[in-house]
Amino acid sequence: MKKINLLLFIASALLVTSCATTTNNSLSGVERSQFLMLPASEVVAMSGQAYNETLQKNKSDKTLNTDAAMLKRVTAISNRLIAQVGVFRADAAKWAWEVNVEKNDDLNAYCMPGGKIMVFSGLVEKINATDDELAAVIGHEIAHALREHGRERMSQAYVQQYGLQALGALAGDSMIGGLATQGAQLGTQLFFSLPNGREQEREADRIGLELAARAGYNPNAAVTLWQKMSAQNTGAPPEFLSTHPDSQNRIKDLQALAPKVMPLYEAAKKG
Ligand SMILES: [Zn+2]
């Protein structure tokens, strides 16, 4: 009985300390409190390993940064967005950001925890994306990382799988050791197999829109982007559409927020 009480005590203590919000309040209106049990440093380390493995595989497949002009364009847009991340959280300005392009016909892009960005060539080519539209997609992906949605999903999955035992073990540090040894493989599995929830997608849309406006990209492009994406929605759905069967709601939400961030865009263009 004593042991159970101890576990419950540890669990409640962890729940209290792990419910927090990752980003500052902003025009985006995103303020939700989050469940973040796993240590951020572990999640970032696992993600970094997984990203490096992807880069190695792409290198051997000759699919990494094969188009120099496209890489230059995607990197320039990403860097303008990254220059604004401090508005949402000061520490993110110092993350080890990285941008690469994978030769892949799928309409997709992602930003792993800690700022590891990958854009698929298909996303740029298939919808003939403008710079403003690319900024909308990359801004959305960066927003997932700023909000630590990956860590949130991993935390939820861990509790579902291991329950109180994992929480108890976490306090004893043995789970952390376990996580580290499972490393990149676990990072990849957790990151790619757990889809973002609808609320997380909405947050990424809203913060992404504000981030793009602050970087001097037209927020109205988010709407044309999702319209183009919906029109292309054949075969396996990309990350953006898979959890958004109702893309009309998403477009309405973006249309409502766009006028609010428009002054940020106007100011950034002048500056
Ligand atoms: Zn998303």
- Kindly give the confidence (pLDDT) of every residue in the chain, 271 residues in length, as a single tens digit, with 9 standing for 90 and above: 455 555 555 555 555 455 678 898 888 888 888 878 788 898 899 999 999 999 999 999 999 999 999 999 999 999 999 999 999 999 999 999 999 999 999 888 999 999 999 999 999 999 999 999 999 999 999 999 999 999 888 887 777 776 645 555 554 444 444 554 455 555 666 666 666 788 888 999 999 999 999 999 999 999 999 888 878 765 545 555 555 546 778 888 999 999 999 999 999 999 8
Q: How many domains does the chain have?
A: 1
- Cα of 165 vs centre of ligand 1, distance in Å, is 31
Boundaries of domain holding 176: 2-270
Give yes or no for a contact between 14 and 172, defined as CB atoms under 8 angstroms apart.
no
Whole-number Å distance between alpha carbons of 40 and 192: 17
Predicted local distance difference test score (pLDDT) of residue 42: 87
- Cα of 115 vs centre of ligand 1, distance in Å, is 14
Please, which residues have CB within 8 angstroms of residue 121's CB and are 6 or more apart in sequence?
66, 67, 70, 101, 102, 103, 104, 105
- Cα of 149 vs centre of ligand 1, distance in Å, is 9
Q: How many CB atoms lie within 10 A of CB 62?
A: 8
Whole-number Å distance between alpha carbons of 195 and 201: 10
- Cα of 127 vs centre of ligand 1, distance in Å, is 18
Specify the pTM.
0.84
Give yes or no for a contact between 127 and 228, defined as CB atoms under 8 angstroms apart.
yes
Neighbours of ion ligand 1 (CB under 5 A): 201, 204
- Cα of 172 vs centre of ligand 1, distance in Å, is 34
- Cα of 173 vs centre of ligand 1, distance in Å, is 32
- Cα of 204 vs centre of ligand 1, distance in Å, is 6
Predicted local distance difference test score (pLDDT) of residue 101: 98
Residue 19 CA to its chain's centroid (Å): 19
